[in-house]
Amino acid sequence: MATWQDVREIALALPEVTETSREGLGRWLVKQKGFAWERPLRRRDLEEMGAAAPTGPVLAVHVADVGVKDALVADNPVVYFTTSHFDGYPAVLIQLELIDKSELKEVLVDGWLARAPKRLARQYLDASG
């Protein structure tokens, strides 16, 4: 079970990341490009999902492409999901209370890599082995 503090710690440990707030919701950016953000479900989301709508905190994270998003949702629909608002957009929604910290780190690093400048991403990967 991950927490917002886990998100902060993992995200802020990545190079060139800043944390901001928009309308009281946390956002994590690399070089001014958002890669993860708090994303409470909106009324339309709740109407679409009905009883299947998560009730806990929701994190949105950029992914490399829509195929990656689709694969995450297909592999683990309990943790990962999407709404029509994100149709065709490379981001996945995550039930924060249902993802473990190690998997959260993988998703956040992948989101960071998807949004970081290529040179910065390459430096990070080279340093990480």
Is a pLDDT exceeding 80 seen at residue 87?
yes
**Residue 61: burial class (beta carbons within 10 Å; 0-12, 13-18, 19+):** buried
Can you spell out the DSSP letters for 90-128?
SEEEEEGGGS-HHHHHHHHHHHHHHHS-HHHHHHHHHHH
At 129, the pLDDT band (50, 70, 90 cuts) reads confident
Say if residue 11's pLDDT is above 80: yes
- Please report the pLDDT score of residue 128 as a whole number: 87
pLDDT digits (tens, 9 = 90+) for 53-74: 999 999 999 999 999 999 999 9
The class that CATH gives domain 4-122 is alpha beta
pLDDT, tens digit, 9 for 90 and up, residues 21-39: 988 999 999 999 999 999 9
User: Can you tell me the mean pLDDT for 97-118?
Assistant: 97
